[in-house]
Structure 1
């Protein structure tokens, strides 16, 4: 089947080709009723604007980049999918660039060569930006400090950690141990901050932090350091999974001997043994907000410099 033309859309909507062009290019010179009729005709016919032609008219490629240092973590993989979907809904294509710690500058050069209009910098990559921020490229950082010079969006990591810690204290535990993420991670630092502040507010002593690297293996390896714990807040679900296996291997029952709460609510969390209580990150909302901020900035709108997406405690059998 060939590409649907503007003329076909115009005939279906009963308008001129110029009116269709104005709708495609988001001109304000179209009344709402006519715009709705044209958009309905586009949907019925499966019309898609010709990206190259539109780029010539608007000076924009309708393409944005996504910069990551790794896709090995569940959070980054889910953000990739959610960002691709959010970009498509706004008529933008997505280009993925992965970069090691010393190659972020090269990643931006590759994006510039592809003519992207802007980029979303995800998690670990955002920490590398201040000294390497490219000029002339619209940027939104996911999980970066709000005081940075960038437009920032992040989940309420500290609030989620506070909810997890308060939940465990509410179950009667005298304190809550923390299996933290990497020290150089903004998300891990914020989750650790929420844990610390909640224990301090409750007048509870702070156990020494045990640190992992987000992987299940690091969660499993942390079990010995958490031998005295009756309650553990894990900075992500993957480390919680490794910890659950180690506890089972040692004969410690969850939640009878040790209560465990994770963070992220990965798709498999409900199928852990036992099902994992966790803090849910809304990855689709996070991606949609990041894309909305970036596209708004690209298209000349005034956008918020910082945006926080709420998190939610999901109670399951690992902490009761």
Structure 2
């Protein structure tokens, strides 16, 4: 672990900014003593924060950043901020000073900056945003794309399947992840031409995954598959719906258990089960979405994540570095048919 590349931290991102980011990174450092960090942000504030985390101070380097990307800024505006903490964190990955970047900042800006600086891997048209979601099965499920690409063709969906399976083999420790495409039905004739064409390619291609056809929205949390693939529009709607449903369930239960004295007594009896439910639904325990398909590791922590959530995002970055996710994806893409990969760039004609 001592030789592990450093992780670049955009310390100014997120709803709480420096305080929570530093607490989360310090927690990750306690869990993984070999981790080292480059912290990007306001130097004075970062030094003050490190005084509260001596275990982190010895493993960190501070790089001052003049500006911060605001959560409401458009990507086209944010990418002009070359000296922002977010831009400098990504630049550190590009230069090789860091092996991965972690940010809790503006998702659209982070994707735009990462794609512009790191570029997509050979064989990949577009990067995809992937995250782990809780299920009723033995494992969580990897889902992508969650918003980076609102419209996708069959080739994109095949590439996402390969990238998602590579991620699942690392995160879930599976040799043959079960992959399904999100659809409006499980029958072969259901769905758009793009989804059906992607399914045909996946069925005919030998890959380190098990393609199991289609799944529907109500089966996302069933645990019946390990990777769910869809376009970014559908994925983002599904993700936000799941998050809203989780909040709805917890709010309804809280109201029910405080509605009367008898209900409060019932809560005391069922308190262990309620703690288990809260832990299972807490997004901090599944924090750390990944931009797959780039020439470098970039992890997006939720803006409202607490220190545990930030630590989990750092853990995701460290694990992907250790397992060399980019090499795995590149090796798997070599088995994908040529028509499902990007066309090679043509050399300019000689004058």
TM over 0.5: same fold? no
Q: TM-score, normalised by structure 2?
A: 0.29
Higher relative contact order (CA 8 A, sep 6+): 2
